[in-house]
Amino acid sequence: MIVACPACATRYDFPASRFSASGTMVRCAECGHNWIESRPVEVIEIAAKPIPAAASHVPAPIGEPRPDEDREIRRLTEAARLAQEEFVQAQRRRRRQLAGWGAFAAVALTPFIAAFAMPERTVRLFPASIQVFDRAGMKVNIYGLEVRRVEQQHVVVGGTRVISIKGEIVNVSDEDRKVPSLRFVLKDKEAADVYAWTLDSGIRPLRPGEMTTFTTRVASPPETAENVQIRFAHADEIGVNPGP
């Protein structure tokens, strides 16, 4: 089991049996930082529930007309047929008139339609486009993953104040997704960053609908820390864990 120091990113290879489910205190031989490490988390698969088929609707039968109404029914039927034919002809003329404008509009709007139909791919190719989607009220999830059910606990272990954070990561896309490293940022009451660290998930890619859990702890956090922000780490943040 690979364990990384949250303060200096020094890695150690320990057997998993050394750590308990509730966490074991570890001291870094390089910088002397103390933290609590727990066993690796288990991946849980969420089974999709079948969608019940919609009940079919059978129209009620129409009763047979009486013999004395046959003539009037034939007259009304012929009038309805002529009206229907006239309506169809008028619709065809209108469609031909609109076809030219429709083709022009389709050519002009195709790039925009494609961009909004594939927002994740658009943001990957043109990162600045995410601002356009934000203004349009669309939240683009380029990772295909969501962080849910986050819980934060403040405990004291051996006289040391410890913040424990745990939660779930769910694959909400329709394809396998690699889980990137998580970035945790402690903020003060003014929303300013006071401490940050990165957690390497170290698990295989999640299949559609699968979920995994994460747990991280930091000992002796800054006294001004009040809230925590969780997001996926940027490339230049992986392996960078400054001390408080």
CA distance 154 to 165: 9
All structural domains of the chain, each given as residue ranges with its CATH number in brackets, are: 71-142 (no CATH), 143-237 (2.70.50.60)
Q: HEC string of 19-74?
A: CCCCCEEEECCCCCCEEEECCCCCEEECCCCCCCCCCCCCCCCCCCCCHHHHHHHH
The pLDDT of residue 243 is above 50: no
Mean pLDDT, rounded, of the chain: 75
**Least trusted range by pLDDT, from 70-84, 149-163, 200-214:** 70-84
pLDDT tens digits for 132-161? 656 766 666 677 888 899 998 888 888 888
Query: Residue 59: what pLDDT?
Result: 56
Q: Looking up tokens 């006239």, which residue turns up? A: 86
pLDDT in tens, 213-223: 889 988 888 88
DSSP state at residue 118 = S
pTM (2 d.p.): 0.44
Number of H helices, E strands in the chain: 3, 11
**What is the predicted pLDDT for the residue at 168?**
92
Mention every residue, 6+ apart, whose C-beta is less than 8 A from residue 177. Answer: 143, 144, 145, 171, 205, 206
Supply the DSSP string of 141-180, one letter for each residue. -SS-EEEEEEEEEEEEETTEEEEEEEEEEEE-SSS-B--P
